[in-house]
Amino acid sequence: MSIKNSVRLIGHTGKEVEVINFGKGGSKASVTLATNDHYTNAKGEKVEETQWHNLVAFGKTAELFQKYVSKGKEIGIERKLTYRSYDDNDGTKKYITEIRVEEVLLLGSKDTNS
């Protein structure tokens, strides 16, 4: 693994995993991940700040997400930041930052729904 573009996060998923199946057996999974940070501001008040991250996974990792990750599941992920852009219907350029996950660690209690 290269540390030049490396991301490691632990958080909770914010929605159900969305999966797209491609021809020839390939798949893509996407989900959001919330990470929380706590600090004390200048007034001495405790503040909790939530950051949302877009995750994408392909192949075997996407299958893992589809099978074991549900909304609210605590997971640890690792890999790299990716950037892409597209033009919307009005011709406005939109930019997207995603984390391409290649390793996932299932944390927290077991899902009672599976």
Reply yes or no on whether the pLDDT at 38 is more than 70: yes
Choice between 113 and 41, residue whose per-residue pLDDT is larger: 41
Choice between 113 and 49, residue whose per-residue pLDDT is larger: 49
**Are 55 and 69 a contacting pair, CB within 8 Å?**
no
Tokens of 63: 């299958």
Q: Is 33 exposed, middle or buried (0-12, 13-18, 19+ CB in 10 A)?
A: buried
What average pLDDT does the chain have?
Answer: 91
Reply yes or no on whether the pLDDT at 114 is more than 60: no
Task: Give the model confidence (pLDDT) of 62-110 as tens digits.
Answer: 999 999 999 999 999 999 999 999 999 999 999 999 999 999 999 976 6
pTM (2 d.p.): 0.84
Domains of the chain: 7-106 (2.40.50.140)
